[in-house]
Each structure stands twice: as C-alpha cells, then as structure tokens.
Amino acid sequence: MEKDKSLRQAVQALIFWFRKHKRDLPWRKNADPYKILVSEFLLQQTTVPVAVRYYESFLTAFPTLESLAQASLEEVLRVWSGAGYYARARNLRETAIRLVATHGGVIPQEVSELKKLPGIGDYTARAIASFAFGADAIALDTNGIRVLARLLGKKGSPRRPSFRRELYQVAEILCPKGKASDFNQALMDLGSLICTASEPKCHQCCCSRGCFAFRSGRPQDFPSVPEKPTRQPLFEVACLIVKDGQFLVAQRAPGRWWGHLWEFPRQEINPNESSLAAVRRIAKEKLGLEVHPRAIVTTVRHSVTRYRIYLTGVLAEYQSGEPRGEGYVAFQWVSLADLNQLPSSSPQRRLVQTLLDMAREGSQFALIAEVLNEPRGQVA
Ligand code: SF4
C-alpha cells in the first residue's frame, strides 16, 4: 500500500517535471497526426538526434499525407537517404497510399486500426494514438521501459515479451486517466536526460523518493546489467568502376538490406584475398566486366543488425563488358557530381563524399584526378 502511494507520487512528480523540462523536439510543436506519424517512423530503430536531422527535410519534401502518397518510391528513398533502415521509408509511403485510397486521407485514431497499416506495430500505434489523439494508450520505448523498471525495482531482460507485458500492466494502473501522452513522453525524457542506462543522475531526479532502484544503491543494475553487443565483422569491397569519367552504379533488388537503393557494386571479400584482387574477381564473376583495379580509396565502417561491415572502396578502370548481375535490377554510369542525387545507403554516401573531398582537394591519388578530370576517351 505504502509502495503504491510512493509510486503514484513519483508519477505525479514525473509529469510535473516533464511539463517544465521536456525536450524541445520539432514534432512536439503541435499534434498534427501526419507529422507525428512521420516522426514515429523515423524514430523506429533511430536515435532522436538522427530523427530530428531528417524530420524537417522529409516534411519539406512531402508536407502532407497526400503529397507523400503521390511521390514515387525513388523520390521518397532519395529524401530518406542516409537515415538508414529503408524499409521504414517504403512502409511510410505504403501507409500514406493506403490511407489516401481507403480512409479519405484520414489517419485512424484507434490502436487496433493503426496496427493494420504497413510498418506500424504495437508500440508505434500506441505512440501515435496517445501523442496525436490523446488516447489512453501506454507506449513504452527503451527509455520508458528502463525508467519504469527502476522505479518498480524490477529485474529482467527488457527483450523478453513477458517482462515488457508486466511493465505495461503496471503502467496502465499508474498512468493518470487522460494523461497517457504526458506519461509516455515523461518516461522517455527522464530516461534520455536523467535516468540514463549506465549513469543515472539520481541526485537530480524528481522521482528518487519513490524509486526502488535508487534505494538499492545500484540503480544502473536495473532492469539488468547491460551486455556488450557483439557484432560479427563482415569485410566487403565496393567496386568504384570508372569509364569516361563516370562511375558505375547498380540498383539493388527489393530485399533485406537497402532494397531499391543505388550503390557501387559490392560484395564480400574471400578469406586471404586482397581488396584489389577481390574487385577484379567480383567485376568478372558478378558483373560480367573486365576491370583494372588501381587504388584503395578508403574503408568505411557501418553497423547493420548484428554485423559490423568494413567496406573498402577500390577505384578500378573499366576495360570491357556490359554490366549485369544477380541482386541488381538496373545499372547506370553517373558523374561524380550526380552520385549524391541517387537514393543510397549511408556507407555508400560516405564513399561518394570521400571521392568528392579527394576531387576537391586535388587528390593524393593521381588517378582520381585523371579519371575525373580528363576528357572522355583518354582514361581507358
Ligand atoms: S532515482 Fe535514479 S534510478 Fe530512479 S528513476 Fe530517477 S534516475 Fe532513475
């Protein structure tokens, strides 16, 4: 009974704190359902700073649900380029198309209806329903789960559905009626600003009086001692094949990673194979091209799911052949200046940026200057 009372007081203090100290996030400026829909898609699997970076440019390109529904997939992917996890962009566009076609362009208010739309799971549906429509729907993100588990003194793995289910049940009881939007966002903000994973600032926290984890003296151990994520390394080369001052790029088939996006053709390096040898082999076996690998440009690192990808860009001169290849649906030769206009993944954009920097600085590789600046026909 006493515990219930102190928890309810902690929740009151939390909501009071939130109203004074909430983060100034662009999607909080009003409760426009379309803007909240966009922000929730961006926030799936992305940090808040990254979502903020892409939010404004996405809304500038597609200011309304209708404009998004009318846009081509290529356009949407281009604006999303660099934000990662491109399935979200495809699902967001699909959602817009479906809402315009079947709901008169109106975003539904009920969690159950929202969950029928592409890319909207239970959490996203609850977040949209509470933030855009004031519904009494609990939505606990990673921060919210951690803060609530600490307040309650609950140990366990946040990945386990049963653990999350129990927290949702308690949250339903603790959340004051009609205040789910503030409650959800207050937990998120406290988790982001004060009750961080490894260094909770309990002495600054509005909830410390009612917090079990604080009283335990080891708040960082709740809900569980964090495990270091282990990622499997993946070594790949990107073939920067140049013909007449233009680069070969390929469009990926729809699929698991980076479907529909454009890239320098890439593949895994075999064990004990050099990057240059890998480019010669991949060009021949995968693309049907003869090339002359000339220089390593850079290696970029990138994490995707459980992989740590090391992608080495190798500049190679085109010699002969017509590009073809499994896993790709189209090819084109593009000037360096135009590469940035194509929708592409973050590691590929970093390769392009490196080439642009090198070209601008009068590259250390004479070849770069040669292939980019010499008139047509003098390179091969
Ligand atoms: S008192 Fe400490 S552990 Fe408890 S909610 Fe606040 S910051 Fe987190």
Give per-10-residue mean pLDDT for the chain (380 aa): 81 97 95 97 93 96 98 95 91 98 97 98 98 97 96 94 96 96 98 95 95 95 80 95 94 84 95 95 95 93 90 95 92 92 92 87 58 41
Is the CB of residue 213 less than 8 Å from the CB of residue 151? yes
Total count of domains within the chain: 2
Predicted pLDDT at 364: 52
Instruction: Provide the domain limits for residue 192.
Output: 2-221
> Does one domain contain both 87 and 199?
yes
Predicted pLDDT at 257: 79
SS3 content of the chain, % helix, strand, coil (to 5): 50, 15, 35
Ligand 1, residue 212: give the atom nearest the CA. Answer: 4
Cα of 202 from ligand 1 centre, angstroms: 5
Taking CA atoms, 1 is separated from 8, 166, 253, in Å, by 11, 19, 59
CATH number at residue 183: 1.10.340.30
> Does one domain contain both 214 and 258?
no
What span, in angstroms and rounded, lies between the C-alpha atoms of 205 and 215? 13
Cα of 4 from ligand 1 centre, angstroms: 17
Q: Is the CB of 77 under 6 A from ligand 1?
A: no
Residues in CB range of 319: below 8 A, 6 or more apart? 289, 290, 291, 292, 380
**Given 174, 201, 221, which residue is the final one in a domain?**
221
Strands 232-243 and 266-268: antiparallel
> Does one domain contain both 117 and 247?
no
Strands 328-335 and 290-304: unpaired
61-65: long-range contacts (C-beta < 8 A, 24 or more apart)?
64/34, 65/34, 65/37, 65/96, 65/99, 65/100, 65/105, 65/107
> Does one domain contain both 215 and 238?
no
Residue 303 falls within a domain, yes or no?
A: yes
**Given 188, 221, 254, which residue is the final one in a domain?**
221
Residue 186 falls within a domain, yes or no?
A: yes
> Does one domain contain both 33 and 122?
yes
Q: Is the CB of 151 under 6 A from ligand 1?
A: yes
What span, in angstroms and rounded, lies between the C-alpha atoms of 26 and 23? 9
Q: Is the CB of 147 under 6 A from ligand 1?
A: yes
Predicted pLDDT at 2: 64
> Does one domain contain both 92 and 28?
yes
Q: Is the CB of 194 under 6 A from ligand 1?
A: yes
> Does one domain contain both 194 and 248?
no
Distance of CA 153 to the CA centre of its chain: 31
**Given 178, 194, 221, which residue is the final one in a domain?**
221
> Does one domain contain both 162 and 71?
yes
Residue 170 falls within a domain, yes or no?
A: yes
- Protein residue with least CA distance to atom 2, ligand 1: 202
What span, in angstroms and rounded, lies between the C-alpha atoms of 260 and 348? 14
Predicted pLDDT at 8: 92
> Does one domain contain both 247 and 312?
yes
> Does one domain contain both 147 and 254?
no
